[in-house]
Amino acid sequence: MTSDGASRPRPRAERSDVRRNRARLLAAAREVFQREGAGASLEAVARRAEVGIGTLYRHFPTRQDLLEALLAGAYDDLAARARELADSPAPGDALLAWLRAFIARVTAFRGLAASAVVSLRDERSALLDSSRAMRAAGQRLFVRAQQAGDVAPGADFADVLRLAGAIATVTEQEPAAADRLLALAAWGVAPRADGPDGPAGPDAFRGPRNGAPGGPGADGG
C-alpha cells in the first residue's frame, strides 16, 4: 500500500514536466523564429529550450505543428483583444485597432503569415477552434462598426479579414507599409456619401484622410 501510494504522484509530476517543456519550447520557438524566421533550425529551438530534439518532436512532430501552436496562442490573444475593445465608444477605431493587432501578431516573424492565411480558410486545420473564436470576436467588432455607420452595409467581415491576411503576407518584410495598406483597405470598405463611387466620409474607420485615391484630400479636378 505504501509503495503504491508513494507512486501515485508521479503521473502528475510527469504531466507537470510535459506542460513545462511545452511552454519552454514555445517560448524558445518564438525567440528563435523572430530572429531567424520560421525556417530556422528546430535543433536551435530545442537547444534554446534546453531540451533534447526528441522532446521537441514528441510535442511537435512537424514544423507546421509548432507554427500552428504559436498561431493558436496568437489567435487566443486576438480574441481577448477584441473583447477588450468590444465596448469602445468609437467602433470604427476599435475595429481598425484590432486589425492592426491581427497583422502585427501574424507577422511576428518571417513565414508565419502564410500559415495564418491557410489556417483561416482551411476547415480541417488544427487551428479551427481558436481561429473560430478569434473570428467571432472580431466579427462582433465589425458589426458594431457597421451599425455605427463606419463600415459600408454591403461589406463582409470575412473579406476584410482576408484583406488583412493579404496585407500581412506582403508586408512581412516591410512592416512600415502595413499601416498604409490597412488604411487604404479601410477606405475601400467605408460608406460613401454619394453611393459606391462617392467620396468617403470623415469617420474613424474611413481610411486615409488625405491622398487616398478618390478620398477627401485626393488631388484632381
Give residue 63's pLDDT band: very low, low, confident or very high (50, 70, 90).
Answer: very high
Q: Is residue 119 part of a domain?
A: yes
Q: Is residue 21 part of a domain?
A: yes
Q: Which of 38-42, 93-97, 166-170, 206-210 bottoms out in mean pLDDT, i.e. has the lowest?
A: 206-210
87 grid coordinates: 465596448
Q: Is 177 found in the same domain as 158?
A: yes
Average pLDDT in the 207-219 region? 39
Q: Is 97 found in the same domain as 17?
A: no
Q: Is residue 215 part of a domain?
A: no
Q: Is 196 found in the same domain as 121?
A: yes
Last residue in a domain, options 37, 61, 85: 61
Q: Is 101 found in the same domain as 10?
A: no
Q: Is residue 85 part of a domain?
A: yes
Question: 155's torsion region: left (phi>0), alpha (psi -120 to 50) or beta?
Answer: beta
Give residue 3's pLDDT band: very low, low, confident or very high (50, 70, 90).
Answer: very low
CATH of the domain at 100: 1.10.357.10
Q: Is residue 109 part of a domain?
A: yes
Structural domain containing residue 177: 63-208
CATH of the domain at 19: 1.10.10.60
Last residue in a domain, options 40, 61, 82: 61
Residue 190 scores a pLDDT above 90: no
Burial 14-23 (b: 16+ CB within 10 A, else e): eeeeeeebbe
- Contact status, residue 150 vs residue 94, Cβ threshold 8 Å: no
Q: Is 94 found in the same domain as 5?
A: no
The winner for highest mean pLDDT among 12-16, 67-71, 81-85 is 81-85
Give residue 80's pLDDT band: very low, low, confident or very high (50, 70, 90).
Answer: very high
Q: Is residue 221 part of a domain?
A: no
Structural domain count, the chain: 2
Q: Is residue 23 part of a domain?
A: yes
Q: Is 87 found in the same domain as 143?
A: yes
Q: Is residue 140 part of a domain?
A: yes
| Residue 189, pLDDT score | 87
Neighbours of 221 (CB within 10 A): 3
Q: Is 77 found in the same domain as 55?
A: no
Residue 107 scores a pLDDT above 60: yes
Give residue 11's pLDDT band: very low, low, confident or very high (50, 70, 90).
Answer: low
Task: List Cα–Cα distances, 91 to 32, 169, 212, in angstroms.
Answer: 37, 26, 22
Q: Is 117 found in the same domain as 14?
A: no
pLDDT in tens, 118-147: 888 777 777 878 889 999 999 999 999 999
Q: Is 72 found in the same domain as 50?
A: no
Q: Is 41 found in the same domain as 102?
A: no
Q: Is 131 found in the same domain as 141?
A: yes
pLDDT in tens, 146-189: 999 999 999 999 999 999 999 999 998 888 899 899 999 888 88
Q: Is 157 found in the same domain as 92?
A: yes
User: pTM surpassing 0.75?
Assistant: yes
